[in-house]
Amino acid sequence: MAQISGAQIVARALKQQGVEHMFGIVGIPVIPIAVFAQREGIKFYGFRNEQSASYAAAAVGYLTGRPGVCLGVSGPGMIHGVAGMANAWSNCWPMILIGGANDSYQNGQGAFQEAPQIETARPYAKYAARPDSIARLPYYVEQAVRTSIYGRPGACYLDLSGDIISGTIEEDEIVWPGKCPDAPRTCAPQENIEAAMAALKSAERPLVIIGKGAAYSRAEEEVLKFVETTGLPYLASPMGKGVIPDDHSQSIAPARSFALQNADVVLLMGARLNWMMHFGTPPRFNANVRVIQMDINPEEIGTNVATEVALVGDAKAITAQLNAELKKNPWQYPSETTWWTGLQGKMTENAAAVAPMYENDSVPMGYYRVLKEVRDLMPRDAAISNEGASTMDIGRVVFPNYLPRHRLDAGTFGTMGVGLGQAIALAAVYPGKKVVCVEGDSAFGFSGMEVETAARYGLNITFVIINNNGIGGGPDELDPTRVPPSAYTPSAHYEKMAEIYGGKGFFVTTPDQLKPTLQEAMATEKPSIVNIMIDAKSQRKPQQFGWLTR
């Protein structure tokens, strides 16, 4: 009988559980896990910082429905990876962090990189375990994979001490639990389905809100059918965009504020009434809004606003139930109502307000002018990674999504620094597609070195930096003795980072340079960086409410 190491067992167990992507940084004691993972056919991406690797792992979980894995060494490596766990916890995305740990027989002795790792992971983990037996490693891996994707998805942590990783046993001593199936799709009771339809029928000003939960459950076909059959107006959360193509005639995205303020019945499809939806409360929502809430997690029901009808379970399965109910009892919201007229009027008004900004050729340029050009040059099926403050808020409005799970951004946690890792995740999951990674200059700095990672693996990513010299803009010139907290080096040449891997960088300051440089950048095989200077004072269209308005 052959001897087999803990590292090899972990790698084989992950592969057996449907894990296809591993991101991380190797070192003692986790090197053999990465080596064996590659040998088992898992794609390993060596990163420059575990933070970015952990963001990529969670994004892969969201995009594929099976967790991505982040691999980090003990102590500091593991702790960097906790950033991704927290982001995954907030976004409800499945991932597994595997942290190496000191040899267990040195516990408490001040071992190399010894740290309270389980305790550190715990608040963000659905499951955090330290396997104590090599033979049972596949059991722990299965637990972590299953827990990450069953119920509300989230992060799991496995703490692997050096002696478990490098220890060996006879192959026939191992217990293999078998592959855990995808999460069972849970339906809502028929009475809730009927109550939901009754509530919608009683509405004067109904609104459907599509969240990333619907995208995660791959409900796109069912949601499109539901929206088209009912004729209801809808809007999408930032990452719910694309579940229905953004150019659909029932999208009322440009009238978002008006729709939220005036809707009397809201159907949430995998979207939460947290800060991103202004808690579902005034002044952003009607004080008497009635809520139909579709969510995988019963504990989410009733958060911030009492729920009139709860649809607890899987978005794809429950939307199919709603469609079946509509087939039995056909109903459609009339297309000629004062609600539709109001929404359409507001959309026209808002489109007219931003139109001049798209066309404004003044130098320095504004966000809309620049992002419009990026939009026009990206392929229709491009996958978009987008972060920053205004760079992201305006990008979300300017860039259309025609496909589900093709937009990743700072998410529920508002995390700056996710952009490059998430772009790499998109490229890993969608080979052959163009990934466009649009970053504020501050956002880019959090993980800029990962451009080298993207180049090393030959990923089809175009990096675009919207440079206003800082966090929400900085000064044109800097006095080193008085640097404002939000400022970065004015006109910093971030595009030169492409030179480190033999790629091409572009520095753009005028509108006439936009098209040729972006075209060339999108056409090149190695990742290019297009660094576009904009007016530090450029802003969003004036908003009635800021994101954090009370």
Contacting positions for Mg ion (CB under 5 A) = 440-442, 468
- Nearer to Mg ion by Cβ, of 125 and 471: the residue is 471
What's the gap between Cα 11 and its chain centre? 26
CB 401 within 8 A of CB 378: no
Closer by beta carbon to Mg ion, 74 or else 442: 442
> Distance from CA of residue 455 to its chain's centroid?
22
Could you say whether residue 400 binds ligand TPP (CB under 6 A)?
no
Eight-state DSSP code of residue 171: G
Identify the helix (H) or strand (E) that includes residue 397: helix 390-398
**The one segment of 21-29, 130-138, 238-246, 389-397 that binds ligand TPP by CB under 6 A:** 389-397
Binding partner of 219, given Mg ion, ligand TPP, none, CB within 5-8 angstroms per partner class: none
- Nearest alpha-carbon partner for 388 in 429, 338, 437, 352: 437
Assess 528 for contact with ligand TPP (CB under 6 A).
no
Report the residue from 69, 145, 236, 389 that binds ligand TPP according to the rule CB under 6 A. Answer: 389
Binding track over 106-145 against ligand TPP, x by CB under 6 A: ----------------------------------------
How near is the Cβ of 139 to ligand TPP at its closest, in Å?
A: 35
Residues binding ligand TPP: number (CB under 6 A): 17
User: 77, 138, 206, 417: which one contacts ligand TPP (CB under 6 A)?
Assistant: 417
- Shortest Cβ 47–ligand TPP spacing (Å): 17
Site for ligand TPP contains 466 (CB under 6 A): yes
Which stretch, 174-182, 271-279, 347-355, 441-449, contacts ligand TPP (CB under 6 A)?
A: 441-449
Does 240 bind ligand TPP (CB under 6 A)? Our answer is: no
Residue 441 touches ligand TPP, criterion: CB under 6 A: yes
Return the range that interacts with ligand TPP (CB under 6 A); candidates 128-136, 263-271, 343-351, 383-391.
Answer: 383-391
Nearer to Mg ion, 295 or 441 (CB): 441
391 near ligand TPP, judged by CB under 6 A: yes
Is 211 among the residues that bind ligand TPP (CB under 6 A)? no
Nearest to 538 by CA among 443, 447, 440: 440
Is residue 131 helix, strand or coil?
coil
Listed residue (484, 480, 462, 461) closest to 472, CA to CA = 484
Residue type at 155?
A
389 binds, among Mg ion, ligand TPP, none (CB under 5 to 8 A by kind): ligand TPP
Q: Which residue stretch of 19-27, 227-235, 470-478, 540-548 sits at the interface with ligand TPP (rule: CB under 6 A)?
A: 470-478
Q: Which residue is nearest to ligand TPP (CB)?
A: 440
| Residue with tokens 């592959």, as numbered in its chain | 179
Q: Which of residues 140-159 bind ligand TPP (CB under 6 A)?
A: none
Residue 472 touches ligand TPP, criterion: CB under 6 A? yes
Identify whether the C-beta of residue 144 lies closer than 8 Å to the C-beta of residue 129: yes
Taking the complex as a whole, the smallest distance from the CB of residue 417 to ligand TPP amounts, in Å, to: 5
DSSP bridge partners of 438: 386, 464
Handedness of CA 514, 516, 517, 522 (dihedral sign): positive
Closer CB to ligand TPP, 97 or 389, in the complex? 389
388 makes contact with ligand TPP (CB under 6 A): yes
Query: 3-state SS of the chain: helix, strand, coil percent to 5?
Result: 40, 20, 40
Residue 9 Cβ, how far from ligand TPP at the closest point, in Å? 35
**Tokens 């550190």 belong to residue:** 120
Paired sense of beta strands 3-5 and 43-46, if any: unpaired
Q: Other CB atoms closer than 10 Å to residue 493's CB: what's the count?
A: 12
C-alpha closest to that of 83 among 425, 454, 410, 301: 410
Residue 278 · residue 251 · CB < 8 Å: no
**Which residues have a Cβ under 8 Å from the Cβ of 495 and sit 6 or more positions away?**
465, 505, 506, 507, 529, 530, 531
Amino acid at site 29: P
Q: Distance between CA 98 and CA 160 in Å, rounded? A: 7
Largest Cα separation within the chain, whole Å, is: 77
If the CB atoms of residues 111 and 408 are measured against ligand TPP, the closer one turns out to be: 408
Q: C-beta of 385: minimal distance to ligand TPP in Å?
A: 13
β-pair partners for 464: 438, 530
Tell me the residue type at 63: L
8 near ligand TPP, judged by CB under 6 A: no
Indicate the residue among 6 and 440 with the shorter CB distance to ligand TPP: 440
Give the count of alpha carbons within 13 A of 301, CB side only: 15
Q: Pick from 52, 192, 390, 412: which binds ligand TPP (CB under 6 A)?
A: 390
One-letter amino acid for residue 501 of the chain:
Y
Between the alpha carbon of residue 125 and those of residues 67, 129, 276, 475, the distances in Å are: 13, 10, 23, 41
By CB under 6 A, residue 447 contacts ligand TPP: no
State which residue, 430 or 446, has the beta carbon closest to Mg ion: 446
Q: How far is the CB of 225 from ligand TPP (least distance, A)?
A: 37
Residues found near ligand TPP in the complex (CB under 6 A): 388-391, 414-417, 440-443, 466, 468, 471-473
